[in-house]
Amino acid sequence: MKAVIQRVRHAQVVVDEQCVGSIEHGLVVLLGVQQGDTTHDLHYLVDKVCGLRIFSDPAGKMNLAVSDVGGQLLVISQFTLLGDCRKGKRPSFMAAAAPEIAKDFYEQFIAQARARQIVVASGVFQADMQVTLCNDGPVTLVLDSRGPT
């Protein structure tokens, strides 16, 4: 699994001109599921996202996790994170998991984050979405459950 994490002041996702999810202070998580991902990959990313100490403590150091600051998550399915652009000009998405598998992992990610008492909003799986956010910092990180690519 791959994720792009953005620390935000606020964010929202719109589908068919309707806001389907929004958060204040927290993290936007763009989540991609790849072929061969297991529950180990899922647990790793949930633990990593929920535990990342990327919010400032009173001394101004990045030392607090999203739950420490009462932050929220906005989780968006993002199969294009698995796009391979090494050959030609058109990305190949062969590494992306089949939609039914990806949807299950996406929903489990949301459920596991909520089980940690974090408020989680989400997009709509496979929908055409417009995501608006105010990146705070900016802080943007890339996570891969399988290590560096």
Active-site entry in 55, 72, 79, 105: 79
Cβ–Cβ < 8 Å for 117, 70 = no
Active-site entry in 34, 78, 105, 112: 78
Q: Is residue 80 annotated as a catalytic residue, yes or no?
A: yes
| Nearest CA among 78, 70, 90 for reference residue 127 | 78
Active-site entry in 35, 80, 126, 130: 80
Q: Would you please indicate which residues are annotated as catalytic (active-site) residues?
A: 78-80
